[in-house]
Amino acid sequence: MPAQNYLSGDSAVNIAHSVESAVASGRAAGGSLLPPVRTAAVQLGVSPATVAAAYRMLAQRGVVIADGRRGTRIRHAPPIALPPPAPLPESVVDLAGGNPDHALLPPLPRLAHEQRLYRDDLNDPRLLALAREQFERDGVPAKHLAVVSGALDGVERVLREHLRPGDRVAVEDPSFTGVLDLLSALALVPIPVAVDDQGMLAAPLRKALAGGARALVVAPRAQNPLGAAITPSRARELHRILGSHPDVLLIEDDHAGPIAGAPYVTLATPRRERWAVVRSVSKSLGPDLRVALLTGDAATVARVEGRQTLGIRWVSHILQRTVVALWRDRKTSQLLRRAEAAYTARRQALIEALRQRGIEAHGNSGLNVWVPVPEEAAVVQAMMRAGWAVQAGERYRIATPPAIRITISSLKDPRKVADDLAAIIQPRVRVSSGA
Which tens digit of pLDDT belongs to each residue from 204-259? 999 999 999 999 999 999 999 999 999 999 999 999 999 999 999 999 999 999 99
| pLDDT for position 431 | 38
Global confidence as pTM: 0.85
The Cβ-side half-sphere exposure at 152, using a 13 Å CA radius, reads 13
Q: Where in the chain is the domain with CATH 3.40.640.10?
A: 111-329
Contact 224, 366 (CB under 8 A): yes
Residue 67 has pLDDT above 90, yes or no: no
Give the DSSP letter of residue 394. Answer: G
CATH topology of domain 111-329: Aspartate Aminotransferase; domain 2 (3.40.640)
Q: Please tell me the distance from the alpha carbon of residue 96 to that of residue 379, in angstroms, as a whole number.
A: 13
Q: Please tell me the distance from the alpha carbon of residue 361 to that of residue 195, in angstroms, as a whole number.
A: 14
362-385 per-position pLDDT tens digit: 999 999 999 999 999 999 999 999
55, 77, 51, 53: which is closest to 66 by C-alpha? 55
What residues have CB less than 8 Å from 193, skipping those under 6 apart?
170, 171, 172, 173, 200, 201, 204, 205, 208
The Cβ-side half-sphere exposure at 372, using a 13 Å CA radius, reads 11
**Would you call 215 helix, strand, or coil by DSSP?**
strand
What residues have CB less than 8 Å from 47, skipping those under 6 apart?
41
| pLDDT for position 435 | 36
For residue 401, cis peptide bond before it (omega within 30 degrees of 0): no
Q: Please tell me the distance from the alpha carbon of residue 332 to that of residue 326, in angstroms, as a whole number.
A: 6
| pLDDT for position 133 | 97
Give the DSSP letter of residue 310. Answer: T
The CATH H-level (homologous superfamily) assignment of domain 93-99+332-434 is Aspartate Aminotransferase, domain 1 (3.90.1150.10)
| pLDDT for position 11 | 92
391, 386, 385: which is closest to 373 by C-alpha? 391
Percent of the chain with pLDDT over 90: 76
When pLDDT is averaged across residues 151-178 and rounded to a whole number, the result is 94
71-109 per-position pLDDT tens digit: 888 877 665 565 677 788 989 999 999 999 999 999 999
What residues have CB less than 8 Å from 333, skipping those under 6 apart?
none
Q: Where in the chain is the domain with CATH 1.10.10.10?
A: 12-74
Q: Where in the chain is the domain with CATH 3.90.1150.10?
A: 93-99+332-434
Q: Residue 1: pLDDT band by 50, 70, 90 thresholds?
A: very low
Element (DSSP H or E) covering residue 191: strand 189-196
- As its CATH architecture, domain 12-74 has Orthogonal Bundle (1.10)
